[in-house]
Structure 1
Amino acid sequence: MPQLNPNPWFSIMIMSWLTFSLILQPKMLSFTSTNTPTNKTPTTTKNKPWTWPWS
């Protein structure tokens, strides 16, 4: 089965993951997010029962 031959594809996969991990990921993580997360106080809502018009 030739599709199971890892000869060229394994090295391509390793090189792409190394490129991502060593070059692209630090660049992406250095960006600051525009919306910083804030702690919100939870709000409770009062549920009203639904009145069905046909009952």
Structure 2
Amino acid sequence: MPQLNPGPWFFIMITSWLTFSLIIQPKLLTFVSTNPPSNKPSITPSTTPWTWPWT
């Protein structure tokens, strides 16, 4: 069964993952902005008790 032979594809897989994780990913992460913390004050929502019709 030739699909169980890791020779043809294992080196390609390791090379592509190393290329992605060491070269491409740091370059992409410089363009992706994270959510900065906001300075807006947190507003507590006013909650009213739920009136159930059967009680």
TM-score normalised by L of structure 2: 0.59
Alignment of 1:37 onto 2:32: no
- Tell me: CA distance 1:10–1:44, structure 2 relative to 1, closer, same or farther (3 Å): same
**Could you report, residue by residue, the CA deviation over 1:7-42 in whole angstroms, capped at 9, with x for unpaired residues?**
112111101112102321121122252x64124544
Q: Does 1:24 align with 2:20?
A: no
Q: CA deviation at 1:44?
A: 2.9
Q: Equivalent residue for 2:47? A: 47
Aligned residues: 54
Structure 2 gap segments, 5+ residues each: none
Aligned to 1:12: 12
